[in-house]
Homo-oligomer: A and B are copies of this chain.
């Protein structure tokens, strides 16, 4: 959508250095921009590309503006400013309200008149869909679930049972939320399934990535607070609580009853064991597992980086002979006496 730089600057709160009547109609990286593009410079890695960009305008920090060969939109957080601007230049599609003829909606379900219910959707007993919410093709909103206003369930999402989802939430394809937690009691005859009777409560502005699973609680609810961002293939077990604005990268896993603070960041393949508490503002490195309570904000790690396997194998062999080395040092100390 073509938008003038003047309008854009006003709407996203930038200072414009350049022609307010010039327009942009798309977005692109500095290196691929055309004279119709809005671009941005956030990471210094891309600074060398600024001088030669063909963009119509670049969102950047004041200190980078001097080197900008085109119109500059100055903001102290260019990445967030770009995110808002891109939403204006490339607006999301608008969907007609209504329920597709192939959708199956329970007589006891409630669907807002402004909601869009796509082909093949099933909405079960006692569930409700909020105003302006988009429920994409193949989504199942089963029993006693509520999806708030302005939500977006892309496609093939399964919302199982006793799930309350806030406003402006985005659920990507393959998300399963409200499935049973993994509760089993051992007996001499084998496992007995422990009924999972809690629900899931997700706040506002939560985004959940493709094929992520969030279990319902065993008795109390699993809780995802406002503004939490979850990537693909993440596992959140029963009775986990994830604090507001925490971001969780792909393939992380959180075992049952873990309590995660606010504004934490978990890199890929990381996670926690069950029944631990992690305070606010913890950053966890990739492939690392938290095994006990974390009470101090900061960066935590516990995994090794890949190296050529012939080196790695030697390191592992030395590691396995550490006891021997300790004994040799002990002998040297003894001999010295």
Contacts and interface: CB of A to CB of B under 8 A. Distances in A.
Contact of A305 (B269, B290, B329): B290
A266 to B, nearest CB: 11
Given A176-B172, A305-B291, A220 B155 contact: no
B211 A211 contact: yes
A111 interface: no
A292 B305 contact: yes
B289 A300 contact: no
A242 to B, nearest CB: 13
Interface stretch (A2-10, A17-25, A66-74, A132-140): A132-140
Interface string A310-337: 1011111011101101101100110110
Q: How many copies does the complex hold?
A: 3
Interface of A: 27-29, 32, 77, 79-80, 82-84, 86-87, 90, 92-93, 100, 102, 104, 118-120, 122, 124, 136-138, 140, 142-143, 154-156, 158, 160, 170, 172-174, 176, 179-180, 182-187, 190-195, 197, 205, 207, 209-211, 213, 215, 219-220, 226-227, 229, 231-233, 235, 237, 244-245, 247, 249-251, 253, 255, 267-271, 273, 284-292, 294, 296, 298-310, 312-316, 318-320, 322-323, 325-326, 328-329, 332-333, 335-336
Given A179-B232, A304-B316, 20 more contacts: A90-B195, A120-B120, A136-B142, A138-B156, A156-B176, A158-B173, A170-B193, A182-B250, A190-B244, A191-B205, A211-B211, A211-B213, A233-B253, A284-B306, A286-B289, A291-B305, A294-B306, A300-B307, A314-B323, A318-B323
A288 B172 CA distance: 28
Nearest to A305: B291
A182 B229 contact: yes
A337 B27 CA distance: 68
